[in-house]
Amino acid sequence: MKHLLSIADLSADDIHRLLELTDHMVEISGRPIPKVPALRGKNVVSLFFEDSTRTRTSFDTAAKRLSADTMNFAVSSSSVSKGESLRDTIETIAAMGVDAFVVRHRSSGAPEMITRWTNASIINAGDGWHQHPTQALLDCYTIRTGLNRRDGFDGLRIAIVGDIRHSRVARSNVQAFAALGAHVTLVAPPTLLPPSLEGWPVEISHDLDALLPELDVIYLLRVQRERMEEALLPSLHEYSLLYGLTEARAARLAPHALVMHPGPMNRGVEMVADPGELPGSVILNQVTNGVAVRMAVLFWLLGSGADLSEAP
């Protein structure tokens, strides 16, 4: 594998192997000196056309634990703003010696387009509404660990709740959860579902309350204020009444059920209860696992051995 553009490019086996590799990376991250020389001399460049401190930092931390060098391009402050073409920018940075670009872009498909212009590996860190594959992998890892499901998600019931339509996280996670065998239900007002769900391996529900007791995982998406302005939502308050995770709703979850969110949370909207008080909340574990998963992805793409047994 050279690039990580979409969960759709990974087989269930690939996902399993990446999650096993993540186990190694979690072990490394827990050492007193959480650093290995695996990627020494490799140059990992983050190219963020959309701001995202948390994702950028997570990749940065991952790269540093593997001893790679890192550079950040906040594209707003770079020559791209001088009217240079995206291709020229990529080719120029690549010519300085880049092993991987971590790309976030508001347009679906931009990371794939970039693969044509450089020999470096491209990692999609979020493109439009399309994909965010490392988010899906870290979420799989968090469920695998949190529910002790090393062999797959057969029979697990996962609800993804919120603005599915505009969510690359939903698209990536549906594919990854389904590939591992989970039963996925999308819960959203009709205006926040995609126009067509043909080919999505999911069920749809508009009644969160009916679902709650049978869920193993409830995965909340961020609802953005903009949706209200676009008239897709009557009000955030009404959204919250029907789909927000209140204490009352949380109390109806099974005791083992996990509560997840990709962050940043809109407290009082999709997250009404205090997640710090919910025993099933693994939201901060997702963040912690994100670093380890990204270490695994970087090692997979840039490490010398295709043979993962050479993992550090």
In this structure, are residues 203 and 185 in contact, taking their beta carbons and an 8 Å threshold?
yes
Choose the catalytic residue: 3, 56, 65, 104.
104
Which residue in 102, 6, 54 sits closest to 283, CA to CA?
54
Name residues contacting a copy of itself, limited to 97-156 (CB under 8 A). Answer: 97
CA angle 217, 222, 223 (to 5 degrees): 125
How far apart are CB 62 and a copy of itself at their closest, in Å?
9
CA angle 294, 97, 67 (to 5 degrees): 40
Name residues contacting a copy of itself, limited to 208-247 (CB under 8 A). Answer: 225
Which residue stretch of 9-17, 51-59, 122-130, 159-167 sits at the interface with a copy of itself (rule: CB under 8 A)?
51-59
Number of C-beta neighbours around residue 52 at 10 A: 15
**How far apart, in whole angstroms, are the C-alpha atoms of residue 16 and residue 157?**
19
Choose the catalytic residue: 3, 16, 55, 183.
55
Which residue stretch of 30-38, 138-146, 152-160, 195-203 sits at the interface with a copy of itself (rule: CB under 8 A)?
30-38
With binding defined as CB under 8 A, does residue 83 bind a copy of itself? yes
With binding defined as CB under 8 A, does residue 29 bind a copy of itself? yes
Site string for a copy of itself, 269-288 (x = CB under 8 A): ---------------xx-xx
Which residue stretch of 16-24, 58-66, 205-213, 251-259 sits at the interface with a copy of itself (rule: CB under 8 A)?
58-66
**How far apart, in whole angstroms, are the C-alpha atoms of residue 35 and residue 63?**
10
**How far apart, in whole angstroms, are the C-alpha atoms of residue 159 and residue 107?**
27
- The site for a copy of itself, by CB under 8 A, has a size of 49
Which residue in 242, 288, 239 sits closest to 263, CA to CA?
288
The one among 1, 8, 74, 242 contacting a copy of itself by CB under 8 A: 74
The one among 58, 145, 173, 175 contacting a copy of itself by CB under 8 A: 58
The one among 92, 230, 237, 279 contacting a copy of itself by CB under 8 A: 92
Q: Is 226 exposed, middle or buried (0-12, 13-18, 19+ CB in 10 A)?
A: exposed
| Annotation says 82 is catalytic | yes
| Annotation says 104 is catalytic | yes
In this structure, are residues 37 and 166 in contact, taking their beta carbons and an 8 Å threshold?
no
How far apart are CB 207 and a copy of itself at their closest, in Å?
29
Which residue in 79, 57, 60, 78 sits closest to 69, CA to CA?
60
With binding defined as CB under 8 A, does residue 306 bind a copy of itself? no
Look at the alpha carbons of 114, 107, 80, 51 in this order and tell me if their dihedral is positive or negative: negative
| Annotation says 54 is catalytic | yes
Residues tagged active-site: 54-55, 82, 104, 132
Which chain residues interact with a copy of itself by CB under 8 A?
A: 29, 31-35, 40-41, 43, 51-54, 57-58, 60-61, 64, 69, 71, 73-74, 77-79, 82-85, 88-89, 91-93, 95-97, 225, 263-267, 284-285, 287-288, 290-291
